[in-house]
Amino acid sequence: MKSGCFITFEGIEGCGKSTQLRLAARWLEEQGYSVCCTREPGGTDIGSHIRKLLLSENNTGLAPLSEALLYMADRFQHIQDVIRPALAVSKIVLCDRYHDSTIAYQGYARKIPLELLNAIWSQSGAALEPHLTILLDLDPAVGIARSLQKLALQQVDESRFEKEALQFHIDVRSGFLTLAEQNPSRIRILDASGSIESIHQHVLHLLKEQMQ
């Protein structure tokens, strides 16, 4: 794997992407790579404030387009402050969620026109595409149950999306799978229903492929 590689982890709520990102980072560091782990929303100081607005279950009245624009504002700040600087010094950047999430959640599930989201992204002058996206695919009902349990243990107010109807999460999953079908060379699908270790081994396989 070349230094200065940008890898994103995507999937529905509770798919285990954050855990797999941490395991991947540890393995890469053991191989001698310099790694930057980050997330969306909230990968910057400004983004941490945006994250509270977006994820708090108290903000159920947030309009879909407002939601989408907040995510994109967080992303542009993130690219400027974290991602590009890390790539510039040859770090491997591992990001928990990125632009594919906006297309899946706000586009396919919230029904905001994809052409609008893609126009904002492509015409911004800041767009940056990952070298590899690892999509952890899981039954939405299983994922939501996992995520709610985790949030309860952490005692954080970040359950706005978990409180959505199951159909919303089914639409999100469908959106991700459509994106994977459209971008097969970048987005690689992994079954997230197995054990943490078995999924980790599949992630390592993709990382090793990227090294070649």
Domains of the chain, by residue range, sit at 6-211
Q: Which of 4-13, 147-156, 188-197 has the lowest mean pLDDT?
A: 147-156
pLDDT tens digits along 182-194: 999 999 999 999 9
Q: Cis ω on the peptide bond leading into residue 41 (within 30° of 0)? A: yes
Give the phi and the psi of residue 147 in degrees, each rounded to 5.
-65, -40
Distance of CA 16 to the CA centre of its chain: 11
Q: Judging by beta carbons within 10 Å of its beta carbon (0-12, 13-18, 19+), is residue 126 exposed, middle or buried?
A: middle
Kindly tell me if the per-residue pLDDT of 33 is higher than 90.
yes
Count the Cβ atoms, other than its own, within 10 Å of residue 87.
19
Q: Against a cut of 0.85, is the pTM above it?
A: yes
| 6-211 has CATH 3.30.70.1450 classification | no
**Of 173, 1, 156, nearest to 87 (Cα)?**
1
pLDDT tens digits along 65-99: 999 999 999 999 999 999 999 999 999 999 999 99
Q: What are the DSSP calls for 73-140, one per residue?
A: HHHHHHIIIIIHHHHHTTPEEEEES-HHHHIIIIIIIT---HHHHHHHHHTSS-----SEEEEEE--H
What does the alpha-carbon distance between residue 191 and residue 175 come to, in Å, rounded to a whole number? Answer: 16
Which letter does DSSP use for residue 26 in this model? H
Mean pLDDT, all residues of the chain: 95
pLDDT tens digits along 91-135: 999 999 999 999 999 999 999 999 999 999 999 988 999 999 999
